[in-house]
Amino acid sequence: MHIATTRTAPATDLDPLREAAMHIAEYDWLVVTSARTVPPLMEALTRAGVPAEDVRASGVRICAVGPRTGDALSVAGLSPDILPERFVAEGVVKALLEATDLEGARILLPRAEEGREVIPAELEAAGASVDVVPAYRTDGDPEESGRLAELVSGGGVDVLTFTAGSAVRSFAMAWGRRGRPLPDGVGVVALGPATADALEEEGLPVHGVADPHTLEGLVYALENWAETRRSSDA
């Protein structure tokens, strides 16, 4: 059962993204950390009169956080030059540091308004200039989060999977006070370490983390959780 505890909305102010799109040829790297960034980015490029082939022709190199984001970019005509080995912010930093000398490099990082600061902080420490521009925002969905909380409370859920910290926070708000225990036996599996950190911050357990941090990895983590549960019940 899929219940979206968050919804994606346009960034509060899209002017910085549109301005960056007009001058995208001035950047050395475009770093994209979510497939959700691609539609507003392409809309901004279209409004600026910059087709995808011109972005590539200008010499801008592209780094995507993982294969799903890479696929979204490829469909839009912006196939990534590099994908990190680990599909998390720290993996993006490592991949860029290994790919090139970042001293003096200009990097465009369109992302969610509420994005983590790991990537810009680490890249700037390596000598790059990073322009962080909001491409979208993620809002909690109180109605859907409340529906999920009711299902969990009523015993209608065996295991919860979370793919982002924003989804965790939205569910936690609906679930109640911090540290309120889940019903016995309910498992919790996270897509990646940042999502797992968000669970721990909200006082919720973590029974598994996807490795690799993809939907396929999430399935493996679910299978491992189920096997562990079967073993403990035997």
Q: What is the domain range of residue 85?
A: 7-138
What six digits make up the tokens of 157?
């859920």
Q: What is the predicted pLDDT for the residue at 207?
A: 96
Residues 133, 17: contact at Cβ < 8 Å? yes
Separation of alpha carbons 110 and 43, rounded Å = 13
**Residues 203 and 229 reside in one and the same domain:** yes
Separation of alpha carbons 86 and 92, rounded Å = 8
**Residue 167 belongs to a domain:** yes
Count Cβ atoms below 10 Å from residue 41 Cβ, excluding itself. Answer: 26
Q: Of 119, 138, 157, which residue sits at a domain end?
A: 138
**Residues 15 and 128 reside in one and the same domain:** yes
Secondary structure element (H or E) that encloses residue 210, with its range: none
CATH number where 124 lies: 3.40.50.10090
**Residues 13 and 129 reside in one and the same domain:** yes
Count Cβ atoms below 10 Å from residue 23 Cβ, excluding itself. Answer: 13
Separation of alpha carbons 77 and 87, rounded Å = 21
- Which of 75, 92, 74 is CA-nearest to residue 83? 92
List pLDDT tens digits, range 129-165.
999 999 999 999 999 999 999 999 999 999 999 999 9
Separation of alpha carbons 33 and 69, rounded Å = 7
Q: What is the predicted pLDDT for the residue at 177?
A: 76
- The label of the residue with tokens 């189920």 reads 226
Q: What is the predicted pLDDT for the residue at 234?
A: 59
- The label of the residue with tokens 């910085």 reads 16
**Residues 14 and 84 reside in one and the same domain:** yes
Q: Of 121, 138, 155, which residue sits at a domain end?
A: 138
pLDDT tens string for the chain (234 positions)? 899 999 999 999 999 999 999 999 999 999 999 999 999 999 999 999 999 999 999 999 999 999 999 999 999 999 999 999 887 888 999 999 999 999 999 999 999 998 888 999 999 999 999 999 999 999 999 999 999 999 999 999 999 999 999 999 999 999 997 778 999 999 999 999 999 999 999 999 999 999 988 888 999 999 999 998 888 775
**Residues 63 and 48 reside in one and the same domain:** yes
